[in-house]
Amino acid sequence: MPVLALDTSAAVAVALVGEDGARLASRTSDERRRHAESLAPLIAEVLAEAGVDRADLTAVVAGTGPAPFTGLRVGLVTARTLALALGIPVLGVPSLDALAVQAVSDLGLQPGDEVLATSDARRREVYWARYRVVAHEGAGGVPVVETVAGPDVARAGFVAQAQLGEGTSEAAGTAAVHVVGEGAMLYPDFLPVAEDAPLVPDATVLARIALVRRAQGLDQPSEPLYLRRPDVQEPVGRVVPATGASA
Amino acid sequence: MADPLVLGIETSCDETGIALVRGNELLVDAVASSMDEHARYGGIIPEVASRAHLEAMVPTIQRALGEADVDLSEVDAIAVTAGPGLVGPLTIGASAAKALSIGLNRPLYGVNHVIGHAAVDQLVEGPFPERTMALVVSGGHSSLLLVEDVATRVTELGSTLDDAAGEAFDKVGRLLGLPYPGGPHVDRLAREGDPHAIRFPRGLTARKDQEKHAYDFSFSGLKTAVARWVEARTDVGQEIPLADVAASFAEAVADVLTAKTIAACHRHDVDTLVVGGGFSANSQLREMAAKRCAEAGINLRIPPIRYCTDNGAMIAALGSAVVRAGVAPSALDIPVDSSMPLTTVTV
Ligand SMILES: Nc1ncnc2c1ncn2[C@@H]1O[C@H](COP(=O)(O)OP(=O)(O)OP(=O)(O)O)[C@@H](O)[C@H]1O
Ligand SMILES: [Mg+2]
């Protein structure tokens, strides 16, 4: 009995994943400003490709960010409404968790190693969270990480200083902090990205994390991680076409 | 066979509206509003509205289903506002509608919000005659539409070139120191004043405008005239007769709206007028439209106020008309269009 996972924190990623964590089908789109157009067709495609009846889904997994607001909401409202239509639960997983977990496998990280996962927050800032590797392979073969700082949003230089600079674990003599995610790619001077590092969350990984957490009976809320207040300086008249404060 | 059951979703501005319509019968109309969160800013904040839509979507759908005692599996089609409106809010509704379409395996129809403001009247007074004039007046629009078939043939005869009627009222409300949104307050104040106390200009009624802008409106000049009049009085230390200013301003708006609309009815040989949109709550417009339509032998249809503001019923009503007309469903990749043309009924 598969789950459908989707993430709209960066581009659009959709995957259909079996109870055992096996990927049945997946799709991505690199479209950054048209999440609402891309997402639904990709969901229909993965269901069709895997020959899965939508009524057989047991949960909808959604990346909860942090991410630019408009795209993030497309994923969350889609997940919640689809789950309502199918009478199944929504499982929320922070999108940066998926990056960190994938980094453990991709970079061959070991317990005690650390990951700084980043994404593009626009406005010359990055969303970030720092993780410590707990196990290279945990339940169901999925790496286990724990959050040690963040998630938060800040300038890359500030993040580098606070998370990679002196006084952090590196200076304390433990393992290095591996920087991953496309947020860091934008600011290589401050945040050098590890070679072979994952850049955007993978929906299959997102699903695997949710399956493990579900088996552990953990609460997985689908509340968006905005991390910023709405911009309120400029109320629009009324129906002035505006993209609004989409981060 | 019974008419299809259509679920309508509206999120073009600050209202999350969900309704169920079968044929021209409204089963339920549930609305959640973020208006209170905007009032302190004196205008709609798109991001605040979008956040509220996300949180309200599933609870509002559930409330509508519960009140109508309908199961989602009974829904035959999903209609959603595809535009015009604010992009962020529109995107929430469109995404939810697509998810329902996939989850229920039912067709999706992206429809026009402004035409929905006219279509909702079919739930109140039944099907439109073959040719109907629709005056849609709201916070964002003031448009005159010739409706030959609400599902397939709508022609835009004219629109405001600047402010919408409701917007003009809100601005004059601010000018007169009334709370936001000013429209209803100006209306109330105007009822106590003399509508003929001050002669404010009627936009685009001069002979030179008759050719190109016979059915267009302009209210920004009027708003400026009111501002100047108030300023001039204030400068010389005279008291402002607030009620008379409000009444004379409201009279000017109602006069232009009704005069042009009735002229269009004559010109296009239409004997039924539907007025829709939040501004149709305005009592000066209602009164003048009733009087002038009676004189002109035009059948005037204005739905009750709760159907005039943004709601799911208007979208479900238009969706129902569209489905029954056999229009092809929308694709799952339809975009939202903040400035959707008023001649586009479905996308
Ligand atoms: N009684 C009234 N007199 C004058 N104006 C009014 C009255 N009641 C409401 N309004 C005005 O109507 C507008 C609200 O209408 P509505 O909710 O239909 O607008 P909207 O949905 O924001 O715009 P649109 O439908 O174009 O997207 C506001 O400008 C409000 O001040
Ligand atoms: Mg409206």
CATH number, domain at A14? Answer: 3.30.420.40
The residues in B 10-69 lying below 8 A from A, measured between CB atoms, are 12-13, 38, 41-48, 50-51, 53-54, 57-58, 61-62
Residue with tokens 């105007």: B190
Return mean pLDDT, chain B: 96
DSSP B4: P
* Domain shared by A150 and A69, yes or no: no
* Domain shared by A62 and A108, yes or no: no
> Does the predicted model carry a pTM greater than 0.90?
yes
B43–A235 C-beta distance less than 8 A: yes
**Helix segments in A87-235, DSSP class H:** 95-106, 156-159, 182-185, 203-215
- CA B97-B101-B106 angle, to 5 degrees, is 135
Fold: same for B5-120+311-324 and B129-305? yes
* Domain shared by A100 and A85, yes or no: no
> Minimum-distance ligand to the CA of B170?
1
Options 3.40.50.1000, 3.30.70.580, 3.30.420.40, 3.40.50.1970; which CATH number does B5-120+311-324 get?
Answer: 3.30.420.40
* Domain shared by A89 and A105, yes or no: no
A230 interfacial to chain B (CB closer than 8 Å)? yes
| B118-149 as b/e: b if 16+ CB within 10 A | bbbbbbbeeebeebbbbbbbbbbbbbbbbbee
| pLDDT attached to residue A235 | 57
In a domain, A122, yes or no: yes
The whole-angstrom separation of Cα B315 and Cα B124 is 14
| One pLDDT digit (tens) per residue for chain A, 247 residues | 999 999 999 999 999 999 999 999 999 999 888 999 999 999 999 999 999 999 999 999 999 999 999 999 999 999 999 999 999 999 999 999 999 999 999 999 999 999 999 999 999 999 999 999 999 999 999 999 999 999 999 999 999 999 998 544 444 445 589 999 999 999 999 999 999 999 999 999 999 999 999 999 999 999 999 999 998 765 565 433 333 343 4
In a domain, A230, yes or no: no
- Kindly list the domain boundaries of chain B, sorted by start residue: 5-120+311-324, 129-305
- Homologous superfamily of domain range B129-305: ATPase, nucleotide binding domain (3.30.420.40)
Contact B85 CB / ligand 1 (< 6 Å): yes
* Domain shared by A181 and A130, yes or no: yes
> What is the value of ipTM here, to two decimals?
0.94
Total domains in the fold of chain A: 2
End-to-end CA distance of chain B: 27
Expressed as residue numbers, the domain containing A58 is 3-94+201-215
At a CB cut-off of 8 Å and minimum separation 6, what does B252 contact? B200, B201, B202, B222
- The answer to whether residues A115 and A177 touch, using CB atoms and an 8 Å cutoff, is yes
Assess whether pLDDT exceeds 70 at residue B266: yes
At a CB cut-off of 8 Å and minimum separation 6, what does B131 contact? B146, B147, B148, B268, B269, B270, B272
CA B11 distance to own-chain centroid: 13
* Domain shared by A80 and A139, yes or no: no
B141–A81 C-beta distance less than 8 A: no
In a domain, A221, yes or no: no
* Domain shared by A75 and A125, yes or no: no
Task: Name residue A123's amino acid.
Answer: R
Contact B169 CB / ligand 1 (< 6 Å): yes
In a domain, A234, yes or no: no
* Domain shared by A90 and A104, yes or no: no
B38–A54 C-beta distance less than 8 A: no
* Domain shared by A55 and A113, yes or no: no
* Domain shared by A87 and A138, yes or no: no
* Domain shared by A15 and A132, yes or no: no
In a domain, A195, yes or no: no
The whole-angstrom separation of Cα B273 and Cα B147 is 10
Per-residue pLDDT reduced to its tens digit, B149-189? 999 999 999 999 999 999 999 999 999 999 988 999 999 99
Q: What is the atom index within ligand 1 of the atom nearest the CA of B281?
A: 1
Contact B141 CB / ligand 1 (< 6 Å): yes
Per-residue pLDDT reduced to its tens digit, B36-45? 888 778 788 9
Task: From chain A, pick out residues whose CB is under 8 angstroms from the CB of B170.
Answer: 238
In a domain, A74, yes or no: yes
* Domain shared by A145 and A25, yes or no: no
| pLDDT attached to residue A166 | 54
- The answer to whether residues B145 and B133 touch, using CB atoms and an 8 Å cutoff, is yes
